[in-house]
Structure 1
Amino acid sequence: MTTGSPWGALASERRFAVTADQDWAPEWATEVMLEWVRRLDVPLHVFQTNPSPALDRAAEEGLVTRGWHPNFFPGSTHGDDEPSVVRHMAEFLPGVRTVRTHGFRESYLALTELANAGIRFDSQFPSAFSGHLVPSVHASGIVRLPVYFEDDVWMRMFPDSGPELGITPLRATLAAPGLKILNVHPIHLALNSPSMAFYDSRRSGIYGEGADPAALAHDGFGVRDVVTAIIDAARADGEKWRSFEDLCDEAAAIVDSQDTLAVLPSA
């Protein structure tokens, strides 16, 4: 292996996957996201906050896989403390093994509670669109797969950018080895938000019976166009878009085969 890294191909090659944070999105926005996934034919792993018939149907047909998106912030409707939030998630969406917390909020206690509930993988760290990202192992035993691209980070760093900029700022790190996990939000994809200011201007109209997706959406270049361009660029380079769950399995197999990546008690 060219890098000498114990992470093997995860360090020396590129691995591309798409994830989404549901974030209480209205069903119409979730449907827009699912249609986008169908059209592009990419596997999608959704970190889910709340019930969604659209996501239930998509999971049944194999269009998406799912994990938890718990809210550990004060005042959370998921619970008053870490144990109660984890219990809520386990009752709402049992049998999953992945997590990304709302707002990337975390603590040692929260991660330990999640591990005790059966969570084995997270995708918590939002990088600065960094190359050479590899997994790590938390003290709880959770294997961590960092995020390469976070849509609202892009919208804050490059607000109202147009097609002339496109994905130019990402070209160097996109070409570098390592994990390329993209994270999107249904509402930002549905609105094709160009900035957080645009999204904030639409907040009051996105819920309720009177929501008009066509009227709410941005009619110019937005974050959906950016993410689509990343997907197309990787494919043009001959790369494959993989399931996030497959990346989890690949990382776990490497951890299990090495004695230098973690010191954990025997199961």
Structure 2
Amino acid sequence: MVKDNSIFQQYVITLDTDWAPEYCIEFTADLLIKRNCKATWFITHASDMIKRISENKKLFETGLHPNFLPNSSHGKTAEEVMDYITRLCPDSKIMRTHALIQSSPLLSLINSKYNVDIDMSLLLYETPNITPHLIRLSKESKGLLRIPYFFEDDVEMYNPKKIWDINNPKYHINGLKVFNFHPIFIYLNSDIIEPYEELKKIGALSTLDKKTVDPFVNTKVYGARDLFIDLIDYISNHQSASYTATDIASIWYKLHG
């Protein structure tokens, strides 16, 4: 494991489950398992496949993915949402909010009342020299370590100069490079958002079977799945180790006391 600041040049995989069908989550997990690649999964719901992921302590960790948007299935208030999501992952101390909803009071509540001490709700897209940083939001706070992330698959779909090639220089700038993917976009090999939006009109994602979803899979151009596979192959071939978000946090604390 990297023991100095070179850790903050590494690539890290995170995933937001976002109510994806079981076979999409399984498909994604199998790609990682095949390459012995670690990842942090941010959980929105309970399922048999998510239970299997949480039991694979060697490769995976599960984090909280609370939905604070209006009409959330997680709850009406911040406390209701956090009570719900912490029941799914009672031991988790790491979070990325759904839709990146955040505020100082919200982060303070989550840090102090729910003992979340790592947050990944800050997207610094294609930004060089990313490194974790510690903030304190109350006098009593022991600190919330924020680990910004560098890439998100659906954001790339809106990029007029989108690139799904891991060899492109934009993916090799200085700094920590946390990539975030969604199992549904990996399964669909999404290059544009429209097929996903059409799928959502059919029904709740978690209820859609493969027969319904498979016609929407992109097989014509490079997409999110291609980048994901190339990235985890790159990590396997070029990094001395792969990392969860908690691994990164632990190394940061060792370096900063």
Tell me the TM-score range normalised by the shorter chain: 0.7 to 0.9
1:155-194, aligned counterparts within 5 Å? 155-158=157-160, 166-167=165-166, 170-172=168-170, 174-194=171-191
TM-score normalised over the length of structure 1: 0.82
Name the CA distance, whole Å, in 2 between partners of 1:244 and 1:130. 18
1:250 counterpart letter in structure 2: I
Deviations 1:5-46 (A, max 9, x none): xxx6058x5122101001111112111111111223210110
The answer (yes or no) to whether the contact 1:100–1:124 under 8 Å persists in 2 is: yes
1:73-112, aligned counterparts within 5 Å? 73-112=69-108
Identity of aligned residues (%): 25
Name the CA distance, whole Å, in 1 between partners of 2:80 and 2:209. 34
Instruction: Give structure 2 stretches of 5+ with no counterpart.
Output: 138-142
| 1:155, distance to aligned residue in structure 2 (A) | 1.3
1:135-146, aligned counterparts within 5 Å? 135-140=132-137, 141-146=143-148
Moved more, 67-76 or 86-95: 86-95
Two-structure CA RMSD over aligned residues (Å)? 2.4
Structure 2 counterpart of 1:253: 254
Structure 1 counterpart of 2:140: none
| 1:235, distance to aligned residue in structure 2 (A) | 4.8
Structure 1 counterpart of 2:28: 33
| 1:91, distance to aligned residue in structure 2 (A) | 2.3
Instruction: Give structure 1 stretches of 5+ with no counterpart.
Output: 1-7, 258-267
Number of matched residues?
244
| 1:166, distance to aligned residue in structure 2 (A) | 2.5
The answer (yes or no) to whether the contact 1:82–1:109 under 8 Å persists in 2 is: no
The answer (yes or no) to whether the contact 1:22–1:186 under 8 Å persists in 2 is: yes
Name the CA distance, whole Å, in 1 between partners of 2:210 and 2:226. 22
Structure 1 counterpart of 2:15: 20
Structure 1 counterpart of 2:223: 222
The answer (yes or no) to whether the contact 1:10–1:134 under 8 Å persists in 2 is: no
Name the CA distance, whole Å, in 2 between partners of 1:22 and 1:86. 17
TM-score normalised over the length of structure 2: 0.85
Structure 2 counterpart of 1:263: none
Structure 2 counterpart of 1:201: 198
Structure 2 counterpart of 1:151: 153
Name the CA distance, whole Å, in 2 between partners of 1:49 and 1:210. 19
Deviations 1:127-172 (A, max 9, x none): 221221011223332100011111111111158x68xx7346x514
The answer (yes or no) to whether the contact 1:86–1:113 under 8 Å persists in 2 is: no
1:138 counterpart letter in structure 2: I
Name the CA distance, whole Å, in 1 between partners of 2:115 and 2:186. 30
Structure 2 counterpart of 1:4: none
Structure 2 counterpart of 1:43: 38
Name the CA distance, whole Å, in 1 between partners of 2:75 and 2:63. 18
1:93 counterpart letter in structure 2: C
Name the CA distance, whole Å, in 2 between partners of 1:106 and 1:128. 17
2:153 counterpart letter in structure 1: D
The answer (yes or no) to whether the contact 1:70–1:89 under 8 Å persists in 2 is: yes
